[in-house]
C-alpha cells in the first residue's frame, strides 16, 4: 500500500508527480510537500505566500514546473532553487519582487521558460544571461528603465521576449544582437522616443514585433530591413507624423499591420505596394485626408480599419470597390485577371498611366458626355456607348471603362489638340472592337499617349512589330509589296534592319 501524505487536509500518494495547491489561501508552503520527491509539477499560484523558507524545495530534484505566480513574495533567497536542477518552467509573475539576487537562478541549466512579469523589478537580473536554454522570458509590467548591453548576449535559444509595460526610454543598438532565434518581441507601453536603425538588424527569424503605445515620432527607413519573416507589426498609439515610403518594403510576409492612433496626415502612395500577404490593416484615429492606392496591392486583405480620420477624407473609387469586394467575399486572395491577355510590360505602364490619370479632378455627368459624343459623328459611337454602359469593373484596376473615359474626356476637352485627340479616339475605339477589357482600356489611354508626359503606354518591340505586320496584312498573304510597306513602317519606329529581316523572312 502506498504511503499517504497529508497536505492541506487532503491525502496524497507519496509517488505522485503533480500537485496543484492554487488558490487555497496559503500563507506558507506546507512542510509535508518535501516528502513528494517524485513531483514534476508543483502549482502554488494564487495564494498569500510572502516568503519561501530555506530548504523548502531541496528534495525536488525531479521537478520540471514550479508555479509561484500571483502571491505576495517580496524576495527570493539566493539558495531557494539550488536543488531544482531539472526545472524547465518557473512562474514568479504577479508578486511584489523588487530585485532578484545574483545567484538565484544559478542551477537552472535546463530552464526553458521564466516568467517574472507584473512585479516591481527596476533592473534585469544579471545572471539571466547564463540561462542558455531559455526559450521564453517574461519581464513585462515591471519598472525597468534600461537594459544593460550584454544582458541577453548568451540567450541564443530565446524565442519569446516580453518587455512591454515598463519604463524603457531607449534601447542600446546591439541589445538584441545575439537573439538569432527570437520570434516574438514585445516592447509596447514603454517610453521609447526612437529606435536606432540597427536595433533589430539580427532578428531575421522575428515574426511578431510590438512597439505600440510608445512615444515614437519617426521610424527610420531601414529599421525593418532584415525582418523578412515578420508577420505582425504593431505601431499603434505612438506620435508618428510620417512614415517613409520604403519602410515596409522587405516585409513581404506581413499579415497584420497596426498604424492606428498616431498623427499621420498622409501615407506615401506606394508604402503598402510590397505587402501582398497583408490580411489586417489598421489606420484608424489619425488625421488622414486620403488612403494610398497601394492598398490595392494587399490582395489578401480581409480587414481594413480607417475610422476617425479627417472628416473630409477622400476614398478613391478603386479603394471603395476593393473594400466592397473584401466585405462580400471571404477569399479574394487570388486576383486571377481573366480580362487580361496582355503582357506585364503593357500592364505596368497602363497601371501607372491610369494612376496618374485618375488624380485629375475633372468630373462630368454621364448624360452630358453622351450628348457630346452623339453630336461628334464618331464612327465608333455604337461600341463606345456600350462600353460606357458596362458597369463591370476591371478585376485588377478596379475601374469601369466609364471611370477611365471621364478622365480621358476631361483631358480631350481641355486640350489645344482637341480635334486630333477626337480623331484618335475614333480610331482607337474602332480598333478596340472584340478586344478584352484590358485591351479596350489600353486603347483608350493610347488616345492621350504622346500628348501628356504622365501617360506612357509601353509596348515591347515584339508586340509593336507584330501589331504593325498584322494591321498591314489585314488578312492578306505576305507579298513583296506588303513586305516593303511593313519594312518602311518598322524603320519609322526605330526597329533595327537585322530584326526587321528576321520578322519579314
Q: Where are the beta strands (DSSP E) in 312-464?
A: none
Cα angle 321, 324, 326; round to 5: 110
pLDDT, tens only, 328-341: 754 433 333 334 43
Please determine, for residue 170, whether its predicted confidence score (pLDDT) is greater than 90. yes
Q: Is residue 69 part of a domain?
A: no
Kindly tell me if the per-residue pLDDT of 82 is higher than 80. yes
Output the pLDDT for position 338.
Answer: 38
In a domain, 84, yes or no: no
User: Which helix (H) or strand (E) is 234 found in, with range?
Assistant: strand 232-234
Q: Give the percent of the chain with pLDDT over 70.
A: 93
Residue 385 and residue 331 in one domain: no
Do 427 and 472 lie in a common domain?
no
Q: Is residue 184 part of a domain?
A: no
Q: Are residues 253 and 311 in the same domain?
A: yes
Mean pLDDT of the chain: 89
- Residue 364's pLDDT is 87
User: What pLDDT does residue 335 have?
Assistant: 35
The mean pLDDT value for 53-65 works out to 94
Q: How many helices (H) and strands (E) does the chain have?
A: 10, 15
State whether residue 186 is helix, strand or coil.
strand
Residues 309 and 374 in one domain: no
**Can you give the pLDDT at residue 386?**
87
Residue 85 grid cell: 536542477
Q: Strand 41-43 and strand 18-20: pairing?
A: parallel
Residues 412-468: tens digit of each pLDDT = 999 888 888 898 898 888 877 766 777 788 888 888 888 888 888 766 666 667 767
pLDDT at 103 over 50: yes
Same domain? 353 vs 442 = yes
Decide which of 308, 335, 362 is a domain's last residue: 335
> For residue 257, what are the β-bridge partners?
233, 281
Residue 20 pairs in a beta bridge with 43
Which residues touch 462 (CB under 8 Å, ≥6 apart)? none
Residue 253 covered by a domain:
yes
C-alpha–C-alpha distance, residues 324 and 482, integer Å: 51
pLDDT of 404 above 70: yes
Report the distance separating Cα 409 and Cα 421, nearest Å: 10
- For the stretch 137-153, what's the b/e string if a residue is b when 16 or more beta carbons lie within 10 angstroms of its beta carbon? bbbbbbebebbeeebbe
Which tens digits make up the pLDDT trace of 205-225? Answer: 999 999 999 999 999 889 999
Whether the pLDDT of residue 2 is over 70: the answer is no
Residues of the chain above pLDDT 90, percent: 56
CB-CB neighbours of 398 under 10 Å: 20
SS3 345: helix
Long-range (24+ apart) CB contacts under 8 A made by 13-16 are 14/38
Q: Strand 184-186 and strand 113-115: pairing?
A: unpaired
Residues 357 and 276 reside in one and the same domain? no
Give yes or no: residues 401 and 421 share one domain: yes
As a whole number of angstroms, the distance between CA 425 and CA 378 comes to 9
Burial of 385 (0-12, 13-18, 19+ CB in 10 A): middle
**In the beta sheet, which residues pair with residue 6?**
11
Same domain? 325 vs 262: yes
Residue where the block lists cell 492541506: 8
CATH for 297 = 3.80.10.10
Does residue 300 sit within a domain?
yes
Which pLDDT band holds residue 383 (cuts at 50, 70, 90)?
A: confident
Task: Tell me: do 313 and 366 sit in the same domain.
Answer: no
Of 71, 76, 88, nearest to 125 by C-alpha is 76
Q: Would you give the distance in Å from CA 62 to the centre of its chain? A: 44
Domain count, the chain: 3
Out of 300, 317, 335, a domain closes at 335
Q: Are residue 415 and residue 352 in the same domain, yes or no?
A: yes
Same domain, 436 and 349: yes
Higher per-residue pLDDT: 433 or 311: 311
Choose the most confident range, by mean pLDDT, from 4-18, 154-168, 334-348, 410-424: 154-168
Whether 475 is covered by a domain: the verdict is yes
Better-predicted residue by pLDDT, 107 or 343: 107
CA gap 474, 469 in Å, rounded:
8
> Does pLDDT of 380 surpass 80?
yes
Q: Is 93 left (phi over 0), alpha (psi -120 to 50) or beta?
A: beta
Q: Is pLDDT of 471 > 70?
A: no
> In this structure, are 250 and 287 located in the same domain?
yes
Question: 51 lies in a domain?
Answer: no
Structural domain of 253: 242-335
Q: Is residue 107 part of a domain?
A: no
Q: Which of 416, 446, 476 is the last residue of a domain?
A: 446
User: Given this model, what pLDDT does residue 352 score?
Assistant: 85
Per-residue pLDDT for 379 more than 60?
Answer: yes
pLDDT in tens, 229-270: 999 999 999 999 999 999 999 999 999 999 999 999 999 999
Amino acid at each position: 500500500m502506498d504511503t499517504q501524505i497529508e497536505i492541506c487536509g487532503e491525502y496524497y500518494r507519496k509517488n505522485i508527480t503533480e500537485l496543484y495547491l492554487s488558490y487555497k489561501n496559503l500563507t506558507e508552503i506546507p512542510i509535508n510537500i518535501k516528502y513528494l520527491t517524485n513531483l514534476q509539477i508543483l502549482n502554488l499560484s494564487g495564494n498569500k505566500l510572502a516568503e519561501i523558507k530555506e530548504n523548502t524545495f531541496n528534495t525536488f530534484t525531479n521537478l520540471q514546473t514550479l508555479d509561484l505566480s500571483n502571491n505576495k513574495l517580496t524576495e527570493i533567497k539566493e539558495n531557494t532553487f539550488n536543488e531544482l536542477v531539472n526545472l524547465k518552467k518557473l512562474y514568479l509573475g504577479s508578486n511584489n519582487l523588487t530585485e532578484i539576487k545574483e545567484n538565484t537562478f544559478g542551477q537552472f541549466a535546463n530552464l526553458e521558460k521564466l516568467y517574472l512579469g507584473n512585479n516591481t523589478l527596476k533592473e534585469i537580473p544579471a545572471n539571466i544571461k547564463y540561462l542558455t536554454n531559455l526559450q521564453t522570458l517574461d519581464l513585462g509590467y515591471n519598472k525597468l528603465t534600461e537594459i544593460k548591453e550584454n544582458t541577453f548576449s548568451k540567450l541564443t535559444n530565446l524565442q519569446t521576449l516580453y518587455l512591454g509595460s515598463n519604463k524603457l526610454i531607449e534601447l542600446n543598438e546591439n541589445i538584441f544582437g545575439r537573439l538569432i532565434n527570437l520570434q516574438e518581441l514585445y516592447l509596447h507601453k514603454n517610453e521609447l522616443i526612437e529606435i536606432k536603425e540597427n536595433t533589430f538588424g539580427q532578428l531575421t527569424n522575428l515574426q511578431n514585433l510590438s512597439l505600440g503605445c510608445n512615444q515614437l515620432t519617426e521610424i527610420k527607413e531601414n529599421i525593418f530591413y532584415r525582418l523578412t519573416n515578420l508577420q505582425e507589426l504593431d505601431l499603434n498609439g505612438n506620435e508618428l507624423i510620417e512614415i517613409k515610403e520604403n519602410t515596409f518594403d522587405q516585409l513581404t510576409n506581413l499579415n497584420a499591420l497596426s498604424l492606428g492612433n498616431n498623427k499621420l496626415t498622409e501615407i506615401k502612395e506606394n508604402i503598402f505596394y510590397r505587402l501582398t500577404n497583408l490580411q489586417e490593416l489598421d489606420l484608424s484615429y489619425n488625421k488622414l485626408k486620403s488612403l494610398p492606392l497601394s492598398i490595392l496591392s494587399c490582395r489578401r486583405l480581409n480587414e481594413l480599419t480607417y475610422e476617425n480620420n479627417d472628416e473630409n477624407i477622400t476614398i478613391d473609387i478603386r479603394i471603395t470597390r476593393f473594400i466592397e469586394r473584401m466585405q462580400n467575399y471571404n477569399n479574394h486572395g487570388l486576383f486571377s485577371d481573366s480580362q487580361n491577355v496582355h503582357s506585364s510590360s503593357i500592364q505596368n505602364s497602363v497601371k501607372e498611366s491610369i494612376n496618374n490619370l485618375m488624380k485629375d479632378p475633372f468630373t462630368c455627368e454621364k448624360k452630358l458626355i453622351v450628348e457630346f459624343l452623339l453630336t461628334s459623328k464618331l464612327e465608333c459611337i455604337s461600341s463606345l456607348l456600350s462600353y460606357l454602359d458596362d458597369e463591370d469593373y476591371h478585376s485588377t484596376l478596379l475601374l469601369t471603362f466609364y471611370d477611365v473615359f471621364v478622365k480621358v474626356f476631361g483631358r480631350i476637352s481641355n486640350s489645344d489638340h482637341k480635334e486630333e485627340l477626337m480623331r484618335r479616339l475614333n480610331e482607337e475605339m474602332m480598333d478596340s472592337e472584340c478586344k478584352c477589357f484590358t485591351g479596350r482600356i489600353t486603347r483608350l489611354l493610347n488616345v492621350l499617349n504622346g500628348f501628356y508626359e504622365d501617360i506612357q503606354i509601353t509596348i515591347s518591340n515584339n508586340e509593336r512589330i507584330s501589331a504593325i505586320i498584322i494591321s498591314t496584312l489585314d488578312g492578306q498573304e505576305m507579298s513583296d509589296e506588303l513586305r516593303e510597306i511593313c519594312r518602311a513602317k518598322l524603320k519609322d519606329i526605330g526597329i533595327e534592319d537585322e530584326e526587321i529581316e528576321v520578322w519579314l523572312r
